[in-house]
Structure 1
Amino acid sequence: MKNEQYMGVEVSPLSYDEITDQLKTRVQAGEQSTIIAVNPEKIMKAQEDATLRDLINGSTFQIPDGVGVLLASRLKGGQVRSRVTGVDMMDHLLKLSADQGYRVFFYGAKEEVVSKAIENIQAKYPAMQVAGYDNGYVQDQEALIEKIQGSKADVMFIALGSPKQELWIRENKDRLPVKVFQGVGGSFDVFAGHVKRAPAPFRKVGMEWFYRLATDPKRFKRQLALPKFLFKIVTKK
């Protein structure tokens, strides 16, 4: 299926399984792939930030993380059938890595967060091979690059926040053996158990944003991007 485009920003209308199937093929072919999460807030920011727009559109897979993207696709008769969240995409990649024998490198977050996340992930997927890790406060980037090169990692998760993590991927991927890169934002905190996700019923109906707002009212300003985005989608000719 072809990508859909909303306000100049690409979105992949693929499911978790379709993405992982394509990734397996691309890894076997020695091709590098990048995954970036797309939501209404990011699309709105991309209207004024050409670098962010280029980072999104230059990725291999632009996953529809926000419910607003799903609604926009339905309003426009698109093919996006469900959200593909960053944290769940990471979980699918972890399972794929365990099944296929891919080596995984983790970079970002605080030391206690990334180390605990890896501990919990290994408990869930004992067969997964950890190629290495480093926290997000490492100063010597050249030493980090050499460490990743020596790790022979196939998959890499970068948790530096967006767009910093995507800029890091673009700047360094050609020097690395890694075949699959995903910027995962705060997902290490979730796997470490430091951040609780919305209960399953909220996630199932696409209301995770409402749960986050209810439990953290400071997010109100950020959540305004959703109605602004949908208004532009509806009124755009």
Structure 2
Amino acid sequence: MTSLDQHGVVIRRSELTFTEEDGCRVSRPVGPHVDARFVSVDIVRIPRGASWKPEVYRQEETTAIVFEGTGSAQVGDGTSPMTKGSTAYAPTGRQLTFTAESDELTVYFWRAVLPEGSPRGSDPKLFNTVYDTSKGIHKFAGTGEIAPVDNERRAYMNFPHWPGNGCAYLCINSGMGAPGNTFNIHAHPGAEDALFALEGSGQFFLGDRWLDMEPGDGVFARAGALHGTRNPDRPGAPELFVSVGGPVPYDRDLYRAAGLSPELV
């Protein structure tokens, strides 16, 4: 990993180190060791036929995205098949379990402790996909930190897990960019953002520069750090560059910009 001083950390999949835990291989690129205050990220490789079921997740809010492989996920009494791009949300108090059916299932887990006294969703959506377009934001022009280019083509962002479907704290956003599309540079003054490339090659902005990203690469943006994504219009550009993550705590301004209520239901 590469530190960009006060801005955050660049995470390269090729540089991750894994340890054996409960029959799985685990890497933790985001957490207190990089001065993350709100969010941690576990990257877990689950062998075929094995399960990942840490008891500590029950005490936290957890969201998960499948990066590779097939399998199933269970949240409390609910279950769902899992493939690349599938998501799961485990509210505090519910056990989360992932089981691999393919040769190996690779899952990225976002973890956070729900602040004491925080409201909880009445009937949260437990399973979804990053490709769910039912709620999202289009033509996002940032929040004023850097003025958008007049002719810049806007990427769009889906909201697989957000306050409108019961996600109390650790929401998942998924940015979708065709060649030439940008999700404009912005910041979350009171929230950290752990953001990873899921599909296609593209670029993330962090602090003061654009960085090339491959699937599995990511950045940890500290609170207030400028960040954004784009799929440069260049030879070999993928049809779609997909980024996943989300500010923790969630940023109400993102939902207001989409014309949606940020209130938890």
* Higher relative contact order (CA closer than 8 Å, sequence separation 6+): 1
**Higher relative helix content:** 1
**Higher relative strand content:** 2
Relative to the length of structure 1, the TM-score reads 0.29
